[in-house]
Chain A
């Protein structure tokens, strides 16, 4: 079980900086997801870890040994890192079995290791097929088996489920998770799909501006995002104006307790003052009809998803207020324009205005 540590990683292409000081710690045996929008440098980070690119500054340490740093660069063929790219990159001129056994010494290529791996990824009996005869999902699994065959210290997965259809994605994802857990290999998964990141990984690192903005367990990332931007990125978010007053915050949805210890910038006297408040859609309660001294509004749109419904409500407030997103379970359909009452629950997060 190997630990991966990245420290102060910088990488630029020409004049264009992509990674500007990435710090990341991947605990041994865990699966960490790196989440970020397209073009944020996720694949670059992965390629530096694999050794295809050389960092401009900073260090990469695998299992305690520095593989990339000042004066040090271990070539990819010596790192024993499994790399599963987005397109799979199977060798078209080799059979599935030959692909899987590619990294093994010549003696072992035809041995039991290959067939064991074929079974492990659920492709028993397809060893003699060629890549173009397989479906997309099957190709991805062969790519994974091929990476695992060399018994790597770390497996890097670059958006491995992106090209699969939704139905297949869930099952392949579960298979990958199970396989990595069973073998205990440390994994780094790169994705732009936050559902995937939150549901698959033990830890999620958000890549923004070439740096890791936050790295936490999925639950912590969702409940306690470091700033409003990350809050908006992970899940739906209602960001409202509020006035802080000794542990509670006053918003249009009422006076709500503040999550203890969440306020940043201890220096200034931000104990009281204007803040941005995060209220998740599931924290808002919705009741049809108008209420006396509670916030009322009317429905803008009602999105039914089967397991729940997402309602957009425009509140009636003198000072003007943004559309509030509410997640409800059960209840009847609400037509646009219907009058509703809103109320919020539970501790909320708040950040001072900058």
Chain B
């Protein structure tokens, strides 16, 4: 008797054995809802606008002119500056970030939990404030040397965070197995631990590289010429749009290269745990005699990364002569900053919702490409987005939106959309479809399900996404300088104005307010995302 699907009896059920992993795809649909898909396409289209504008402008200036502007001596210099800085700083950050993460997560370093916080706080300090702190105190901090020091201290947490998370979640079983197979301690570290953390290290390095490519304020203070400083100058000082456009194209190409490189280096291997998900912690490595040097190292890192910028700001604030006007301008700048940040946070979170819903709850090629296309925004530094939007609104939009609050908010939303998307996706991950279905089977109508289940579970994450964008806007300088309505100041632009005039005493309070506004919520957010990634922790 032949049967096309012979019944095979599975082996005797072992204790706690779950049947073959149920594919998560089962809960997804391939038919996308029309409204949601339309919204997703609309969002993706807006995100593409700056790139489209850039290309239109390049075509308008003429291919020959643009090519000439690209292939000239200045570009080579800028390229050299940008690339060598990126390589050096990325390497340094990778080493510092990984070493710090390993010491905090895997050893018995005294005061680990305190160091874990102190090591991350520098991320909340805007890079241009770090630069200001160093450059205002010591004159040798300038040029390439200064840029390396400042940027390394400013962005190493971008490597520390993912590596620490990866080490915390790593499966100790893999290292134990390696040791049982006869691989020594050091080689186990290299071949297993580092290999497991490779994805995190590369991801962190990618973020560092993208930040370096997009940085403007810090380099301007240090007198270090990169693509961003040049684009800024060409557009807002020389009003030479074709030149700015040409440089922007090169910068975007560089960013795309970095994105592609990271993708290739990451490789196909998956870092996953097999077996029960409750993380069994590794016994911490004893430092012994190395404890004091390591502690000293952490102390030095904190002093340099945190102490110098904050200390310099406090120092200059104490130095200044009192200015009554300062209070008013501080309050007004803070108000404007808060207004823009809140609007951008809301807009970005709202815009991320359809894309995130499609990404998590549905499957299929359309939604895949839709989601991937939004990552292109990562390849566009803020200055390029702002420049593209500013120029286009001035030239083709008959100046309607140029230097207006709505355009600035839209620019922020585009720039920080990837951040919002990460946050919204994390929040939706806490509200799986299976729970919605469960609620429906218990007799709840769709609206009741949304209110009682989905929003309750996803709510905190949506707020976190909003906060992420809010904080990023508070510390944003480059795009703001290009697009801010005349007569209005944000905390960052007011700081910049004073700093450029060497009025350090007046600039310092703004720096401190920005740090204060960014630091505390950053800590809370960090704990939120950490907990959502590892709910047992």
Please report the C-alpha to C-alpha distance between residue A92 and residue B9 in the assembled complex, in whole angstroms: 35
* CB-CB under 8 A for A37 and B22, given A76-B437, A91-B435, A165-B15: no
B445 at the interface (CB under 8 A from A): yes
A172 to chain B, nearest CB (A): 13
Taking CB atoms and an 8 Å cut-off, the chain A residues in 121-171 that contact chain B are 132, 146-147, 150, 159, 162-167
Beta-carbon contact of B443 and A77 below 8 Å:
yes
A123 to chain B, nearest CB (A): 18
Please report the C-alpha to C-alpha distance between residue A260 and residue B453 in the assembled complex, in whole angstroms: 58
A10 at the interface (CB under 8 A from B): no
Interface size in chain B (residues, C-beta < 8 A): 39
Contact digits for B181-199, partner A, Cβ 8 Å, 1 yes 0 no: 0000000000000000000
A294 at the interface (CB under 8 A from B): no
- Chain A residues within 8 Å of B64, by CB: none
Taking CB atoms and an 8 Å cut-off, the chain A residues in 77-91 that contact chain B are 77-83, 85-87, 89, 91
Beta-carbon contact of A354 and B22 below 8 Å:
no
Please report the C-alpha to C-alpha distance between residue A213 and residue B5 in the assembled complex, in whole angstroms: 11
Say whether chain B's binding surface is mostly helix, strand, loop, or mixed. Answer: loop
A81 nearest CB neighbor, chain B only = B441
Contact digits for A331-352, partner B, Cβ 8 Å, 1 yes 0 no: 0000000000000000000010
B457 at the interface (CB under 8 A from A): yes
Beta-carbon contact of A209 and B3 below 8 Å:
yes
- Chain A residues within 8 Å of B14, by CB: 166
B20 at the interface (CB under 8 A from A): yes
Please report the C-alpha to C-alpha distance between residue A140 and residue B22 in the assembled complex, in whole angstroms: 18
Which of these, B1, B7, B13, B452, contacts A354 with CB under 8 Å? Answer: B1
- Chain A residues within 8 Å of B457, by CB: 92-93
Please report the C-alpha to C-alpha distance between residue A132 and residue B277 in the assembled complex, in whole angstroms: 13
A39 at the interface (CB under 8 A from B): yes
B289 at the interface (CB under 8 A from A): no
Beta-carbon contact of B1 and A208 below 8 Å:
no
Beta-carbon contact of A354 and B26 below 8 Å:
no
A193 at the interface (CB under 8 A from B): yes
B8 at the interface (CB under 8 A from A): yes
- Chain B residues within 8 Å of A51, by CB: 440-441
- Chain A residues within 8 Å of B6, by CB: 229
- Chain B residues within 8 Å of A163, by CB: 16, 18
Taking CB atoms and an 8 Å cut-off, the chain B residues in 1-38 that contact chain A are 1-10, 13-20, 22, 26, 30
Please report the C-alpha to C-alpha distance between residue A89 and residue B441 in the assembled complex, in whole angstroms: 12
A230 at the interface (CB under 8 A from B): yes
* CB-CB under 8 A for A229 and B440, given A77-B445, A162-B19, A192-B19: no
* CB-CB under 8 A for A14 and B443, given A37-B7, A92-B457, A194-B9: no
A302 at the interface (CB under 8 A from B): no
A222 at the interface (CB under 8 A from B): no
Beta-carbon contact of A38 and B20 below 8 Å:
yes
Beta-carbon contact of A91 and B453 below 8 Å:
yes
B442 at the interface (CB under 8 A from A): yes
Please report the C-alpha to C-alpha distance between residue A37 and residue B7 in the assembled complex, in whole angstroms: 7
- Chain B residues within 8 Å of A208, by CB: 3, 5, 7
- Chain A residues within 8 Å of B16, by CB: 163-165
Which of these, A50, A81, A166, contacts B13 with CB under 8 Å? Answer: A166
B444 at the interface (CB under 8 A from A): yes
Contact digits for A202-217, partner B, Cβ 8 Å, 1 yes 0 no: 0000101100010000
Taking CB atoms and an 8 Å cut-off, the chain A residues in 205-249 that contact chain B are 206, 208-209, 213, 227-230, 232-233
B486 at the interface (CB under 8 A from A): no
A304 at the interface (CB under 8 A from B): no
Beta-carbon contact of A43 and B26 below 8 Å:
yes
A187 at the interface (CB under 8 A from B): no
B527 at the interface (CB under 8 A from A): no
B335 at the interface (CB under 8 A from A): no
Enumerate 24 A-B pairs (CB-CB under 8 Å) in ascending A order.
Answer: A36-B7, A37-B8, A38-B19, A51-B441, A52-B437, A52-B440, A77-B442, A77-B446, A82-B441, A89-B438, A92-B430, A92-B457, A102-B442, A103-B442, A146-B442, A162-B17, A162-B18, A163-B16, A208-B7, A209-B3, A232-B9, A233-B8, A351-B1, A354-B2
A residues near B, CB below 8 A? Answer: 14, 36-40, 43, 50-52, 75-83, 85-87, 89, 91-93, 102-103, 132, 146-147, 150, 159, 162-167, 192-195, 206, 208-209, 213, 227-230, 232-233, 276, 351, 353-354
Excluding A38-B20, A52-B437, A209-B4, 8 further A-B contacts by CB distance (< 8 Å) are A37-B7, A50-B437, A79-B441, A87-B434, A103-B444, A146-B442, A167-B15, A229-B1
Q: Which 9 A-B pairs have the closest CB atoms?
A: A103-B442, A233-B7, A165-B15, A83-B441, A76-B440, A38-B20, A89-B438, A354-B1, A166-B15
B residues near A, CB below 8 A? Answer: 1-10, 13-20, 22, 26, 30, 430, 434-435, 437-446, 452-453, 456-457, 535
